[in-house]
Structure 1
Amino acid sequence: MESTSYVTTTINEHIACVEFYHPASNSFPSTQLADLTNAITVLNTNKEVHLIVLKSAGEKAFCAGASFDELLSITNLEQGKQFFSGFANVINAMRTSNKIIIGRIQGKTVGGGVGLAAACDYTFATKNALIKLSELAIGIGPFVIEPAVSRKIGKPALAEMTLDAENWKSAEWAFNNKLFTHLFDDAPQMDEALEKFAEKLSNYNPEALHEMKKVLWEGTENWDTLLKERAAISGKLVLSDFTVKALNAFKGM
């Protein structure tokens, strides 16, 4: 496994695979959030690409959410808003993409990673893909990703997940609550099914896929503003003494 983070795009036939990696359990610093946003956005102008597969490298973690190191480096409201706007930008890029996005969720997923999974149009996951929204435990909340997560699993399930911030939900729970579309025992089974589905979908009429994408995201037109407002809330809370102490305690574990 590489020691440096990356976001890469590979295109095969009509399928673009966007892969991200970070040595800290695929967590996201702001630069990598910007890279992922750009990778998804630039594909809008590639007419040869009909759909996107979003995945991360490695086996154990799909995405650990925000970089704790960068959260601890935030010293003012503007920095806080800018950092959390990174997640807002990724989700909005996924939402407004003219391609259907399929998520490959192979392992544990925390915080912003749950938001990425929720912003996918269709997801394949393994039983190792436990999920957790741990933000309240460190003094903030999943405010930026909440609209995407609630859109998939509903407010009651969101409350169950968010308020029980220190415990994992099983992949079966995520599947039953519609965050995951398909669930498999292991990665080879998942990848076989994903490859077959993606190949089939990529041969559909791209104009019809684009129109279907717009239908799927109807009613979210205010998210450009909403998610930035939510980023400001998180940016304020991350400066609190509670959060600074909690982040340092988590890092020391």
Structure 2
Amino acid sequence: MTEPYVKQDIENKIATIEFFHPAHNSLPGNILAQLADNITEAGKNDEILVIILKSGGERTFCAGASFKELISIENEQEGEKFFSGFANVINAMRKCPKFIIGRVQGKTVGGGVGLASAMDYCMATKYAAIKLSELNLGIGPFVVGPAVQRKIGASGMSQIAIDANSFYSPEWAKRKGLYAKVFSSTEELDDEVQALAEQLCGYNPEAVKEMKQMFWRGTEDWDELLQERAKISGRLVLSSFTKEKLERFK
């Protein structure tokens, strides 16, 4: 696999949405837009009862924002547009009336932690350590912050956001509630994800829809909130500090 993609497969009322990018499953704007569209459309499709969200490849689940696109941002409008991509995916997951099961096979960084946090039920392997690296770049996890804090609490969120150079173990993430279960292998993870998806297909879709709204109660302002956060990130990515950091990574 060398070309980026987002694809959706539907089988027995289960939609599997998979994204891939050769740069450790990083997320450029076009991938983010396709993810948001696929999740929204799956939510509207009556033939789909459950959604599985996963990434391609065997190692990294998601490396977060695309460094190539971060480096290319030249003004605040471009910055806001790029970070709005993460806001749109999180809000699509939030509004989707179907349960979204997360399948995290490996390390996840930055925006990838935001994706995992927005899952309704997320499972991982023992290799799926997490890191919020944004502060190290001079930005901060502003857009994904509300989703991460909702899932692991203000204390856990502040811990990993401040300690921006450290990976936190899957066991730590499980204790904090990000992961429901952690498995020794991808094969075990896939078996459990499939079993749960099939189980959820036997539930009343109306009950699932009501439960989803109940779980996400209190987030009704996120359309505006995450857009405001995208503006902050879009401004900070132009700072001399961040530009210098990104050049080093390049």
- TM-score normalised to the size of structure 2? 0.99
2: CA distance, partners of 1:44 / 1:100: 9
SS of match in other structure, 2:214: helix
RMSD of the alignment, in Å? Answer: 0.6
The answer to whether the aligner puts 1:30 opposite 2:29 as a matched pair is: yes
2: CA distance, partners of 1:133 / 1:45: 32
Q: Who is 2:157 aligned against? A: 158
Structure 1 segment 96-107 matched on structure 2, within 5 A: 96-107=95-106
Query: Any idea what the Cα deviations from partners look like across 1:58-92, whole Å, max 9, x if unmatched?
Result: 11100000000000000001000000000000000
Code of the residue aligned with 1:168 in structure 2: it is F
Q: Who is 1:68 aligned against? A: 67
Structure 1 segment 42-57 matched on structure 2, within 5 A: 42-57=41-56
Q: Who is 1:220 aligned against? A: 219
Deviation of the 1:230 alpha carbon: 0.1
Q: Who is 1:120 aligned against? A: 119
Deviation of the 1:247 alpha carbon: 1.0
Query: Any idea what the Cα deviations from partners look like across 1:178-230, whole Å, max 9, x if unmatched?
Result: 01011111111111111111101112111111111111100000000000000
Q: Who is 1:14 aligned against? A: 13
1: CA distance, partners of 2:86 / 2:43: 19
Provide structure 1 residue ranges, at least 5 long, that are not aligned to the other structure. none
SS of match in other structure, 1:63: coil
Query: Any idea what the Cα deviations from partners look like across 1:135-194, whole Å, max 9, x if unmatched?
Result: 000100000000000000001111110111011001111011101011111111111111
- TM-score normalised to the size of structure 1? 0.98
Code of the residue aligned with 2:93 in structure 1: it is M
Code of the residue aligned with 1:171 in structure 2: it is P
Deviation of the 1:44 alpha carbon: 2.1
Deviation beyond 6 Å, 4+ runs, structure 1:
none
Identity rate, percent? 55
Q: Who is 2:210 aligned against? A: 211
1: CA distance, partners of 2:193 / 2:72: 39
1: CA distance, partners of 2:127 / 2:249: 22
Provide structure 2 residue ranges, at least 5 long, that are not aligned to the other structure. none
1: CA distance, partners of 2:165 / 2:249: 12
Code of the residue aligned with 1:216 in structure 2: it is F
Q: Who is 1:88 aligned against? A: 87
Which region of structure 1 is more displaced relative to structure 2, 40-49 or 90-99?
Answer: 40-49
Code of the residue aligned with 1:75 in structure 2: it is E
Give the total of aligned pairs: 250
Q: Who is 1:5 aligned against? A: 4
SS of match in other structure, 2:84: helix
The answer to whether the aligner puts 1:232 opposite 2:231 as a matched pair is: yes
Code of the residue aligned with 2:91 in structure 1: it is N
SS of match in other structure, 1:62: coil
Code of the residue aligned with 2:16 in structure 1: it is C
Code of the residue aligned with 1:121 in structure 2: it is D
SS of match in other structure, 2:19: strand
2: CA distance, partners of 1:45 / 1:131: 31
Code of the residue aligned with 1:210 in structure 2: it is K
SS of match in other structure, 2:64: coil
1: CA distance, partners of 2:209 / 2:48: 11
Code of the residue aligned with 1:56 in structure 2: it is S
